[in-house]
Structure 1
Amino acid sequence: MASTLSPYILLLFFSHFVLIVHSSTNPDLESLISFKTLSDPSKKLTTWKTGTDPCTWTGVSCVKNRVTRLVLENLNLQGSIEPLTSLTQLRVLSLKGNRFSGSLPTLSNFTSLKLLFLSNNRFSGEFPSTVTSLFRLYRLDLSNNNFSGEIPAKVNRLTHLLTLRLNENQFSGLIPELHLPNLQDFNVSGNILSGEIPETLSGFSGSSFGENPFLCGAPLKKCEAEPSKPGSEGAIASPLVPSSRIPTVSSSPSTMPTTTPTTNVKSHEKRASKMSPMVLIAIIVGDVLVLGIVCLLLYCYFWRNYSSKSKEEKKGLKLFESEKIVYSSSPYPTQGGFERGRMVFFEGEKRFELEDLLRASAEMLGKGGFGTAYKAVLDDGNVVAVKRLKDAQIAGKREFEQHMEVLGRIRHPNVVSLRAYYFAREEKLLVYDYMPNATLFWLLHGNRGPGRTPLDWTTRLKIAAGAAKGVTFIHNSCKSLKLTHGNIKSTNILLDKQGNARVSDFGLSIFNGPSPSGAGNRPNGYRAPEVLDGRKQSQKSDVYSFGVLLLEMLTGKCPSAGESGGSGYGGGVIDLPRWVQSVVREEWTAEVFDLELMRYKDIEEEMVGLLQIAMSCTAASPDQRPRMSHVLKMIEDLRGVEVSPCHDTAESVSDSPSLSEDACAGTASQ
């Protein structure tokens, strides 16, 4: 027995030894352990354990075994960050919302740092001078601390800076003249700054300078010196302007000019009379030439800055993929060169400006036939989903706005709400609620294989009922218009925080092209036969698409996905409803259902019942299909008892990545 176990013991010991050696080879390990010892009295960093790989710890990301990203926010950490200064490969450092105090240590070792977020702490002392040596820095946030002293002019060294937030501190003195060509986000409000706002910063809003009682100049009130008082010998200096800037005039006779005005005028007339007309013309022509050269130089200077800035905005500044709190390489439109639109919000919605979207960090969620969807994190922490319409065929602004007003009024717990829209000739954006959990497509197909948590029957039935409620509400929301969804498929069934199904991407089929070659008419496995023949979308075609969705949930197979071998599909592109009908006709009904459902007991009757509902929805003739309200009633009757969410499945996918429909070969997306 001992001889049998000894190889396993040796293997276990060797594996443990390799892990220790690997973690010890990380040159940043000692610094991280020292930081945890000094700064984590509440023991929030539970995964930071000696003997484990630091690159797997909470908040730590690595490239080539070096720490490049450290994000430790709102963890009640305290003390000093001195041990972190040894992390020479850091690109992102975010310590927001902790209790760090004292002066910042020397940060000059962070030569690769691009994002520095230290807001909402208790740091004090003067502006950290070594920050101005971080030439690669894009975002600097020192807001809501206790920094004091003057803001140094050396900030101009940070030529790549996009964000500079120094608000809610105790900075004093004048604001230096800042020449940061890429600066998009600037805030010094809530300090004790004084004097005139530099002209280079006057383009920012008044909120960027608020709560500084001694500041003046655009965009705040105009700077004005106090008027002279009777009997005084000169103007009294304004508290906003240093007294050294006001010239003093002495009343001593010895300082008065010795020549009288009459003498000056006569001497000037004599000099003018001696000038010939040619000399005067030469002077005028010279002045015009000099003025023209100056204007040309100024034009070239500003045009070069404008063109370089436009190129940089279009190109975007790329960081490592691990840097999730990225600066804005925004996918949304910039304002140069096209018609300016406006954000239109629906009643009761929290408002923001297009510029807030431009500044937001953006992450692509997926592409569809009408455009691309993005997750946008606004500066205030709110998260929205933004759909950028590119392939939609829109007749005009008035028709677009009228349709958006209809869609914006649709509010239901099983529908993703449209919150706002933006319209300009070259750009149309739709802003929706962001759903943090996965799509139904991901739950069914995205994590197949070893270690997968299957989507159980209870959860599938709950999602089917929720989606049916959402589609039914859309159909009944405006009886005169007979609204349709127009694009029902598993990628458009999202899950909210509670695991409830939410129907998205509804009502956009009105923007389909008039011909079958249009973006919205590309065939896929969800489209009803009449739609593939070129007829318009209808509520009955929605019912067909919903039936295909139910078949997808029952079989675990993608519509129009070709599979070979003994799967029952055969080769090539397959019509899922037709395949299911052929299997049922041959009385092989059990072969239809997803093998992952076979592990559950006493559900055969419910599965067969839902299969019958799906087959009635996918009838070839629209007249033979039930209405969505009837489909919903049949599903609810099928359940018998209220379906509760499967917590294991819902929680396990909360951080699942977006999955493209290309993962199922042959699935066409709108």
Structure 2
Amino acid sequence: MAAMAAATTKPNPNPLTTAVLLLLLLHHAAAVNNPDVQPLLLFKTTADPTATVLTSWTPTSDPCTGSWVGVSCLHNRVTRLVLENLNLTGPFPPSLTSLTQLRVLSFKQNGFTGQFPNLSNLTTLKLLFLSHNRFSGDFPPSLSSLSKLYRLDLSHNNFSGSLPLSLNRLTHLLTLRLEQNGFTGPISGLNLPSLQDFNVSGNGLTGNIPVSLSGFPATSFRGNPVLCGPPLEKCNVGPSDPTRPGGAMASPVSPKTTVSSSPTVVPSETKPPVKSGNSRRSKISSLAIIGIILGDILVLGLVSLLLYCYFWRNYSNKSMSGKSSGGSQVEKIVYSSSPYPNPAQSGYERGKMVFFEGERRFELEDLLRASAEMLGKGGFGTAYKAILDDGNVVAVKRLKDLNVNGKKEFEQQMEVLGRLKHSNLVGLKAYYFARDEKLLVCEYMPNGNLFWLLHGNRGPGRTPLDWTTRLKLAAGAARGLAFIHNSCKSLRLVHGNIKSTNILIDKTGNARVSDFGLSIFSSPSSAPKSNGYRAPEAALDGRKLTQKSDVYSFGVLLLELLTGKCPSIMDNSGPGSGYSGVVDLPRWVQSVVREEWTAEVFDLELMRYKDIEEEMVGLLQIGMACTQASPDQRPKMNYVVKMIEELRGVEVSPSHEARDSVSDSPAVSEETGRASE
């Protein structure tokens, strides 16, 4: 009975064993459900038949757990397959075309052979490195359909045939390396405007090097005997040896035609002698030609003299009328409304030029006489470059649409701003206040602004803004903004209009923050509700600005530096197409970082630089922290400066702020300070 009872009694399962078995079953189910497992296992059977290299690739494991060598995933799909220098062999496995989310594929320095399959399914592929293998056949035509590709390296293989013009579809391509293959034919039709790394040396290419590729070094083209043009030898358009660079392939006239004689040709010794009459007619013809030329010159001279007299008379009349009206044409354009008071208005005092420090160096009349050049229009008026009679150059800003209660309020704010002295702020020199005219005179910055450095002349011939300069300008702008925030503790000053056009570049290449402190005078009509830089809490009322809203705007500026995208451009396509009108750059960056590959947010012009990924990701994290929706979650500018300087490897001195501090103005009341918040 006891034995029967023991036999009928079920053993209690071990809880630990059950949990392990359950985890294995779940893990196996995840691996089975992953659509990329079978294509990778098929690739393993052909590329590693001895199973000595890809030993971690097992049917019972999941490639997205990090255990499969060379495989990386995102959202449980394989996005990177990097298998370099592993002695893998065989043809390119067609099964890999099923990895539709693949973005990086690198088979460098292996033993792959044969021709390419159709890769048009890999629509997300961005990097393709297949150098130092034994691939053969024509240039893979399916590569031209991979519109997102920006690195392509097929060098040191056995490819042959001509390069198709369909390559020009790869408008984002930054790298094209085809050296040491057997490509033939011309490359004159290639036009890849974004190309930064190019090499076709060691092939059999012929013809002219196109202008779009002539900027690359000669080493990119050597080893192609019949290739010519800059940077190689100049092409020879005449008949020559076709084996030499630039040599013509054949003369259009056959050798027989050039050496054969015709029976109708009179030999030179049987030609009749030239008569003296012919010589006389020739001499007369020469004199007639000289006379005609001299006559033409005299007629042209007379006509030019008449035209000169006519236009000079008109010009003199216009100059006299301009002087009698009291100013030149340029001055009328720059100062269209006179700053002088109307004499008929009694009790109105004429304005005067007030200097922030030092002796008076010029008067309003000097500015009116100065030659002026418009620099640009902003939210607070138009800026001009003015060259004074003594040669000094200043920037003059005509302040428009300001909400000023009176002269005293304006003077108090100008006094505060005039005390702000810092190497990363544009220095203020003087101001002018009258009822109909308000001017602010500043230092002139000769190297433009950050907006034009980032976005100006995008395309062929542009000099990209390098990473070191971007990081330097970001640090300088951060120091300038932090100084504004900390310069006057009782007033809690704000900038109110941080954007790339207000970050100017001085003659030594340092960032200078401009247009600070003017937001206190914003009127409801002039305050921009949404220019891409506005913090969410300030979007409804542009006059309610705080230091934390400045931090948000600066964060957008950092994202602009990293992405190369202007936050205030119209965009209805691409990754930001979910937002109509102005691009919401912080939201777009957050969505890409959250849903996609982080590297996609970075400016393509930064891809040429090596070993900067860590710094770019670090600055990206700072920009995202500054653009948090909640103001309380944003860091203070002092901490932002510290984080950026740590990225640059610069030690921040604790006495840095003390050296650039200013004292609170005794003439400014607390009431004015609260108004500026």
TM-score by length of 2: 0.49
* Larger CA Rg, structure 1 vs 2: 2
TM-score by length of 1: 0.49
